[in-house]
């Protein structure tokens, strides 16, 4: 459903009507303003004579998009439309969601993020700096939003953007884009959301040496200072907007699972890369089990690519196995992770915490075949999947 936003919204009607109504993307309706509305709002002579329906506006806008050959050019056009007429923007996205979702989000948004500072046009987010943690509260308070005015915040520190890595403040659009998906696909009111960038610096030398870069020009801060910013964000956001979901997006492997585990009992927090991806995989597993008449207790899981998303899947399937009657240890023994260094085992150095949970005992796989010192996918499938299945069939 396309949000129907009242022209006067929560702002003082006379002031808004005379100075802001066609400048504010949430209230501007462009050529869809009727003659009566134009008279009432002081817009006579400010628009062409034609009065169009939203459908007519959307048809014109879609034709304009279709004239563009490059997806990044389409992204820029849609971003500019978003900045001047939000209702029209979402109407067109919803009408052509299969075609335009890859333009406003992945994969096109990756190219837009790389050029974000150089092509900077308008901010649709707030920026919280690790160098000024004391500004977190006044930043949110300056928005003038009450405890019942916000449903959702999407925050990213942009350390692991999609498949392109660390892009610092340029990664702001990943939060903005995710919120657009929430509205287009789930009907979340775009006037009740906030996009947030945690600017903790960047280790991307290309950005640090770029004169156009708009973020903090220092290496990515970690440890206590980083945690202080995250903790202040969580504390202030949850206090000011107690009913809002705090969505975390594209955090690096060292922080994503740790932040979720430490804070999920205290805050309404959600990590999309772990829990969102895991939920999609779980739905596929459940559909398969219904077809085959099996349960989670019958499954064996091999995760190929054991990052935060992969281990997030493992966490949720492990939970399903336990609910189906297995003990936590039995469930763990049915899960194998493969990462860049091959099968994850407990004798590997510097195992991240999210992998250590599922690391196999090195003695258990001592006689498994290795290639360049690593146990690969084929050997793991043969030993962990095929042989047990064959043994079960024989039994």
Task: Report how far residue 74's alpha carbon sits from residue 166's, in angstroms, rounded to the nearest whole number.
Answer: 24
Is 178 assigned a catalytic role? yes
Of the listed 75, 89, 90, 105, which one is catalytic? 105
Query: Edge-to-edge strand order for the sheet containing 193-199?
Result: 126-129, 193-199, 152-156, 245-248, 269-271
Q: Which residues are registered as beta bridge partners of 319?
A: none
Of the listed 74, 91, 114, 178, which one is catalytic? 178
Task: Report how far residue 183's alpha carbon sits from residue 176's, in angstroms, rounded to the nearest whole number.
Answer: 11
Beta strands 342-343; 126-129: pairing state: unpaired
Is 105 assigned a catalytic role? yes
Three-state SS sequence of the chain: CCCCCCCCCCCCHHHHHHHCCCCCCCCCCHHHCCHHHHHHCCCCCCCCCCCCCHHHHHHHHHHHHHCCCCHHHHHHHHHHHHHHCHHHHHHHHHHCHHHHHHHHCCCHHHHHHHCCCCCCCCCCCEEEECCCHHHHHHHHHCCCCCCCCCCEEEEECCCCECCCECCHHHHHHHHHHHHHHHHHHHCCCHHHEEEEEEECCCCCHHHHCCCCCCCCCCCCCCCHHHHHHHHHHHHHHHHHCCCCEEEECCCCHHHHHHHHHHHCCCCCEEEHHHHHHHHHHHHHHHHHHHHHCCCHHHCCEEEECCCHHHHHHHHHHHHHHHHCCCCHHHHHCCEEEEECCEECECCCCCCCHHHHCCCECHHHHCCCCCECCECCHHHHHHHHHHHHHHHHHHC
Retrieve residue 151's tokens.
């449903």
> Which residues are part of the catalytic machinery?
105, 178
């Amino acid at each position: 459903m396309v949000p129907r936003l009242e022209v006067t919204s929560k702002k003082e009607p006379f002031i808004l009507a005379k100075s802001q109504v066609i400048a504010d993307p949430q209230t501007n309706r462009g050529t869809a303003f009727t003659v009566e509305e134009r008279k009432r709002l002081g817009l006579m002579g400010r628009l062409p004579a034609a009065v169009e329906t939203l459908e007519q506006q959307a048809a014109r806008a879609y034709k304009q998009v279709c004239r563009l050959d490059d997806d990044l050019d389409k992204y820029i056009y849609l971003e500019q439309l978003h900045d001047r007429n939000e209702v029209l923007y979402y109407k067109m996205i919803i009408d052509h969601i299969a075609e335009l979702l890859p333009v406003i989000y992945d994969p096109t948004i990756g190219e837009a993020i790389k050029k974000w500072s150089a092509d900077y046009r308008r901010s649709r987010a707030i920026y919280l700096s690790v160098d000024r943690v004391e500004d977190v509260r006044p930043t949110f308070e300056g928005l003038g939003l009450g405890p019942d005015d916000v449903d959702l915040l999407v925050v990213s520190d942009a350390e692991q953007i999609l498949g392109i890595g660390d892009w610092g403040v340029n990664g702001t659009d990943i939060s903005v884009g995710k919120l657009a998906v929430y509205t287009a696909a789930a009907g979340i009111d775009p006037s009740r959301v906030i996009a947030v960038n945690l600017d903790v610096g960047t280790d991307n030398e290309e950005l640090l040496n770029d004169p156009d870069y708009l973020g903090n020009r220092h290496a990515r801060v970690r440890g206590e200072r980083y945690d202080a910013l995250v903790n202040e964000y969580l504390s202030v956001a949850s206090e000011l907007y107690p009913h809002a979901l705090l969505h975390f997006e594209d955090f690096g492997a060292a922080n994503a699972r740790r932040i979720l585990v430490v804070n999920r009992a205290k805050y309404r927090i959600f990590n999309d890369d772990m829990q969102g991806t895991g939920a999609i995989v779980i739905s596929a597993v459940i559909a398969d089990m219904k077809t085959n008449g099996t349960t989670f207790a019958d499954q064996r899981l091999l995760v190929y690519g054991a990052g935060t998303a992969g281990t997030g899947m493992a966490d949720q399937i492990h939970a399903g196995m336990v609910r189906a009657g297995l003990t936590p240890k039995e469930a763990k023994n049915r899960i194998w992770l493969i990462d860049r260094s091959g099968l994850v085992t407990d004798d590997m150095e510097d195992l991240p915490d999210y992998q250590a949970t599922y690391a196999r005992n090195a003695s258990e796989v001592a006689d498994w075949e290795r290639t360049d010192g690593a146990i690969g996918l084929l050997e793991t499938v043969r030993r962990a999947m095929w042989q047990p299945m064959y043994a079960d069939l024989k039994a």
